[in-house]
């Protein structure tokens, strides 16, 4: 079985991520979307909230599963017996860092990384921009799944009230 891992923070998941998951699901028998547990990085959504949203969003993709991990990605891939890492590549600005990680992961564990060229519709999209725009009242409908939009607006109104 060819198992692929799509790792990331997904804080929150965008339509760009979803596009990558569904295209990875065409290439692999099983895709695991793995949320990094990073206690040093502040996030808007908890890991549990991100996992719950991802589970609902990928429900129509039967071979896509959601999980979380901490530590090195290569160790997690070995644990899950995954042969490949799949990442989306939006623009040249992503390339240096992604190439560095891909080369390091290959050096550490002979693990291949496959890059999916982001759908141009989502080339400018990032979780950080979505959060920033939503925080200042901008419209992010169509950039994130409807469920994520709902949770994002709830979270932001809760944060502002708190
Ligand atoms: O969505 P992000 O934050 O860009 O995802 C980055 C991620 C999770 C892919 C990367 O930070 C990662 O793999 N972290 C796990 C720790 C690790 O293996 N670091 C060495 C990478 S060469």
Tell me the domains of the chain and their CATH numbers. 3-123 (3.40.50.620)
Residue 26 confidence class, pLDDT cut points 50, 70, 90: very high
Could you give the residue ranges of the DSSP H alpha helices within 58-109? 73-79, 92-109
* pLDDT value at 11 more than 80: yes
Predicted confidence at residue 93, as pLDDT, reads 86
Atom of ligand 1 nearest to the CA of 74: 18
Q: What three-state secondary structure class fits 36?
A: strand
The CA 26 to ligand 1 mean position distance, Å, reads 23
Q: What is the mean pLDDT of the chain?
A: 96
Question: What is the distance in A from the centroid of ligand 1 to the CA of 7?
Answer: 7
Selecting among 50, 127, 131, 151, the annotated active-site residue is 127
* Neighbour-count burial of 98, counting CB atoms closer than 10 A to its CB (0-12 exposed, 13-18 middle, 19+ buried): middle
Is 42 among the residues known to form the active site?
Answer: no
For residue range 36-76, what is the model confidence (pLDDT) as tens digits?
999 898 999 999 999 999 999 999 999 999 999 999 999 99
Say yes or no to pLDDT of 16 above 70.
yes
Residue 158, pLDDT > 90, answer: no
How high is the pLDDT of residue 120?
Answer: 93
Cβ < 6 A, ligand 1 pocket: 7-9, 36, 72-73, 101, 104-105
Backbone φ and ψ for 109, nearest 5 degrees, come out as -145, 15
For ligand 1, atom 7, the nearest C-alpha belongs to 8
Instruction: Write down the pTM of the prediction.
Output: 0.96
**In the predicted structure, residue 6 carries a pLDDT above the cut 70:** yes
DSSP tag of 141: B
Q: 50, 87, 90, 151: which is the annotated catalytic residue?
A: 90
Q: Which residue has the tokens 């949770």?
A: 151
Q: Is pLDDT above 80 for 161?
A: no
Spatial CB neighbours of 10, under 8 Å, sequence gap ≥ 6: 17, 33, 35, 50, 54, 127
Q: Is 90 a catalytic residue?
A: yes
Q: What is the pLDDT of residue 159?
A: 72
Determine the pLDDT at residue 162: 60
- Which position among 17, 50, 87, 131 bears the catalytic label? 17
Instruction: Indicate if the pLDDT at residue 142 is higher than 80.
Output: yes
């Amino acid at each position: 079985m060819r198992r692929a891992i799509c790792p990331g923070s997904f804080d929150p998941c965008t339509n760009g991520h979803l596009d990558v998951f569904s295209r990875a699901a065409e290439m692999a028998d099983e895709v695991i979307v793995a949320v990094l547990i990073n206690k040093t990085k502040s996030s808007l959504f908890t890991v549990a909230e991100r996992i719950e949203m991802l589970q609902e969003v990928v429900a129509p993709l039967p071979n896509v599963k959601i999980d979380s991990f901490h530590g090195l990605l290569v160790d997690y891939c070995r644990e899950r017996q995954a042969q490949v890492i799949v990442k989306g590549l939006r623009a040249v600005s992503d390339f240096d860092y992604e190439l560095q990680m891909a080369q390091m992961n290959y050096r550490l564990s002979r693990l291949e990384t496959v890059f999916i060229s982001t759908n141009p519709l989502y080339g400018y999209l990032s979780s950080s921009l979505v959060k920033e725009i939503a925080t200042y009242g901008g419209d992010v409908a169509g950039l994130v799944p409807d469920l994520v939009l709902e949770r994002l607006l709830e979270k932001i109104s809760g944060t502002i009230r708190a």
